[in-house]
Amino acid sequence: MIKWAPHLGLVDQPAERKVHVTPTPLGGGVGIVCGVIIPLACAHLIIWAISHGYLPQSLIPGDLKLHLPGALYRAPQMWGILTAGLVLSIVGLIDDVHPVSWKFRLMIQFMVAIAVIGAGVQATVFIFFTPIGWVLTAFWLVLLINSLNFLDNMDGLTGGISMIAALMFAIIMLSQTSEPRWLVGGMLLVIVGSCAGFLVWNWSPARIFMGDAGSTFLGLMLGCLTVLGTFYDEASFDTHVMLAPLCVLAVPLYDFISVMVIRIKRGLSPIAPDKNHFSHRLVDLGLSRKNAVLTIYLCTLTTGLAALLLYRLPGWGSAWTIIAMIICILMIISILETAGRRAARRRQQESHAELQTNTIGENRIDLQDQK
């Protein structure tokens, strides 16, 4: 895609709201999508061939042989999710070449959310009125799609955050429940691998960007898999583990909500692009872009580890302690960001005032010379 993108018109030009200074190929999202769909298609083909006797069952580890019928049974749902992600990716690719109205994109996002809900991706635990589950699922999916899209504003940011989040969810699905969730855990590990492969080329200085084609696809995948993955384990009766997705995704959600608040507070359009994101505020604090991204990685890893703690500590009392800890971390960051921005604004005002003073002084000297 690095070679093909310029010929397809997929080039991100520098602009005032962007941090890169040289034209950079877009379309890395195409690589991410292929990195998810192709391995899953190969896995499905192998499972189908083994189940029909075309390949020996020795290719599959003994513990997984019991799950072959279940994998084939769940395959249509998996392909429904992947098809929905592909539709979002195509819309994002079109938007990368010729900007599309945000209203149209939002409409497509809700239509895709409704489609995957129809494929069985819907919240059901502790929801006793099915339509409420549909509504909550739709808004959760659209929220994550836009959260990861908003987060894609620095080299390696969305790709790295998605990789860490998917890895944390995979660990929970495969090791923290009484029975491993193989399909959801396997899809999450494929996403981890796809993001890791992309980061090789997207790490600062990036040779390619993922664009909307990648960020919206990853947002939908994580949204669907967090709904499909049953975090609540009936064997333990600990309902507080349902907070795990909110813990793992606390940083993208914090970035999305804080940016919305800043824009509305300043009388700006909530969907207008700017430099008010988490990463931009860390740079204003004095961090380099690379260190800002690493800081966000560490914050995401911290909140992800807090999600793992939910499975180690019993009861809602422990859960609220962990939630309070995450909120405190985000509040500390928020205070530092605010102080950094105020200091930067003060330095800018002082510099502007000094420039005006120097200009007035030079004008006076010129006038004296003329006299």
Average confidence (pLDDT) over 155-172: 94
Q: What pLDDT, on a 0 to 100 scale, did the predictor assign at position 109?
A: 95
Q: What pLDDT, on a 0 to 100 scale, did the predictor assign at position 19?
A: 58
Flag whether pLDDT at 191 surpasses 70.
yes
Query: How sure is the predictor about 313, in pLDDT bands with cuts at 50, 70 and 90?
Result: confident
User: Positive or negative, the Cα torsion across 136, 142, 148, 151?
Assistant: negative
Flag whether pLDDT at 360 surpasses 70.
no
Q: What pLDDT, on a 0 to 100 scale, did the predictor assign at position 179?
A: 81
Flag whether pLDDT at 222 surpasses 70.
yes
Q: What pLDDT, on a 0 to 100 scale, did the predictor assign at position 234?
A: 60
Return d(Cα 249, Cα 309) in angstroms, integer: 15
Cβ-Cβ contacts under 8 Å for 137 (sequence gap 6 or more): 113, 117, 121, 122, 123, 227
pLDDT in tens, 78-118: 999 999 999 999 999 888 888 888 889 999 999 999 999 99
Return d(Cα 186, Cα 195) in angstroms, integer: 14
Average confidence (pLDDT) over 365-370: 60
Q: What pLDDT, on a 0 to 100 scale, did the predictor assign at position 82?
A: 95
**Cβ(12)–Cβ(28) under 8 Å?**
no
Residues linked to residue 25 through DSSP beta bridges, in sequence order:
11
Q: What pLDDT, on a 0 to 100 scale, did the predictor assign at position 371?
A: 59
Pick the more confident residue, 187 or 286.
187
Return d(Cα 31, Cα 194) in angstroms, integer: 8
**Cβ(53)–Cβ(29) under 8 Å?**
no
pLDDT in tens, 27-44: 899 999 999 999 999 999
**Least confident range of 31-45, 291-305, 309-323:** 309-323
Q: Quick one: three-class SS letters along 91-127?
A: HHHHHHHCCCCHHHHHHHHHHHHHHHHHCCCCCCCCC
pLDDT in tens, 116-128: 999 888 877 666 6
Flag whether pLDDT at 171 surpasses 90.
yes
Q: What pLDDT, on a 0 to 100 scale, did the predictor assign at position 363?
A: 56
Return d(Cα 94, Cα 90) in angstroms, integer: 6
Q: What pLDDT, on a 0 to 100 scale, did the predictor assign at position 239?
A: 76
Q: Give the highest mean pLDDT range of 8-17, 49-58, 214-223.
A: 214-223
Query: How sure is the predictor about 223, in pLDDT bands with cuts at 50, 70 and 90?
Result: very high
Percent of the chain exceeding pLDDT 70 equals 86
Cβ-Cβ contacts under 8 Å for 24 (sequence gap 6 or more): 11, 12, 206, 207, 208, 209
Average confidence (pLDDT) over 128-155: 88
The type of residue at 325 is: M
**Least confident range of 39-43, 109-113, 328-332, 342-346:** 342-346
Average confidence (pLDDT) over 207-233: 88
Average confidence (pLDDT) over 326-339: 84
Q: What pLDDT, on a 0 to 100 scale, did the predictor assign at position 21?
A: 59
Q: What pLDDT, on a 0 to 100 scale, did the predictor assign at position 14?
A: 67
Q: Round to the nearest angstrom and report the end-to-end CA distance of the chain.
A: 66
Q: What pLDDT, on a 0 to 100 scale, did the predictor assign at position 370?
A: 61
R_g over Cα of the chain? 24
**Least confident range of 5-14, 80-89, 222-231, 252-261:** 5-14
For 187-224, give the DSSP string.
HHHHHHHHHHHHHHHHSSSPS---HHHHHHHHHHHHHH
Q: What pLDDT, on a 0 to 100 scale, did the predictor assign at position 55?
A: 87
Query: How sure is the predictor about 200, in pLDDT bands with cuts at 50, 70 and 90?
Result: very high
Q: What pLDDT, on a 0 to 100 scale, did the predictor assign at position 281?
A: 83
Residues linked to residue 12 through DSSP beta bridges, in sequence order:
24
